[in-house]
Amino acid sequence: MTSSSKPAMMTLRSLLKLTAMVPSCLASLAVYWGQAENDKQQTDLLFYCSSQAVDTINLAFVSRFGQKYIDEDNSDGFVLNLSNMCTQYNDYRYSCPKVNRDIKECQKLGKKIVISIGGEDNSNEKYGFIDDNEAKRFAHILWDHFAEGHSANRPFGDAIVDGFDFDIETRDQTGYLELANELKSIVELNGTKDYLFTAAPQCGLNERDMEQLLDNFEMDRLYIQFYNNKDCELLSDGFNYYDWANEVISRGHSSTKLYIGLPSASKAASSGFIKDVGRLQDVCKDILADSRVNETFGGLMFWDASRGFDLYERDSRDSSYIFRAWSALNALFGEGLGSGVTMTNDTGGQTVDNVTCLF
């Protein structure tokens, strides 16, 4: 593909079409969406999908599940918390028509939409299983309500997600390995497409809430949270990406890609925000240059979308923080292998020519 020397002004429709055409070797970037971290404000899902920078969006969260935390008369129930994007009825039923439409439009653009379970374990949002059998049953509930199964109470209607994300932040590990294995079995038996299996562990290797799951189930991606954990954050002396890479390699999980998870704004987490994307670029450059671990590198993950695209972290050219981070990572992806693609950022103003690929 070649770019014109004088590219015409692009309409939003043509920009969205171009989004789906960008080569897969561009830097991968995932965001979490649904919690309206930006002062309880968030834009529709499709807005974030239309950004060139984003290729995967995790819908956060299915935040309460398990018989211990759901009324006994609603054993199939769960709490879906997407802030202001759904209408909740009695008996744990949800209607999210705008999310339904946006998921399908996002997928037309080549974006992956993943349902995330868990999140912060607090007094309002509790989750967990009594035993392995309950976890296996919940796998079928997730499949029927969000994937290719069938239920009269599908929150997103006929929209089908592209995967399952585990953001488990509780010490009780009962059932999560069985949940993942059962979901994998259902996909292999009944799925008509590939599904992503991802997890978002905190960066501390010695304090893992998903140790049993991660040791025994090969995830496609790990979105490692290098924030809210000062001992192992990206700019700390204890930054431990290489330890995580060695863990994955030693387990024989050769397909697992590691993502550097960061806050998308100074207010998105208590610590770990990297305002200067050049420093983030330097860290990624070192990883990509290290033949021992570079094949484990997958990209970047940000919490969350609403803050990462808001007005407060934009630069003098009105580029969002997430776009700047994505551009900095793409700048590392080789020279002389240009795709010739000309892309417009999420503000509609700045262009990035001849994006190149390393792999």
Give the active site residues: 169
> What DSSP string describes 245-263?
HHHHHHHT-TT-EEEEEEE
C-alpha 154: how far from its chain's center?
Answer: 21
Q: 3-state DSSP: the chain helix, strand, coil percent, rounded to 5?
A: 30, 20, 50
Q: Do residues 258 and 244 touch, judged by C-beta distance below 8 A?
A: yes
Residue 218 per-residue DSSP state: -
Nearest one of 34, 112, 35, 125 to 78, comparing CA atoms: 125
Find the Cα–Cα–Cα–Cα dihedral 297, 303, 309, 314, rounded to 10°: -80
**SS3 letters across 25-43:** CCCEEEEEECCCCECCECC
Instruction: Measure CA of the first residue to CA of the last residue in the chain; give whole Å.
Output: 18
Who contacts 185 (Cβ-Cβ below 8 Å, separation ≥6)? none
354 token code pair: 């001849």
Cα gap 156→144, rounded to integer Å: 11
Peptide bond into 61 cis (omega under 30): yes
Cα gap 305→100, rounded to integer Å: 18
Nearest one of 313, 319, 310, 295 to 37, comparing CA atoms: 310
228 token code pair: 């809210």
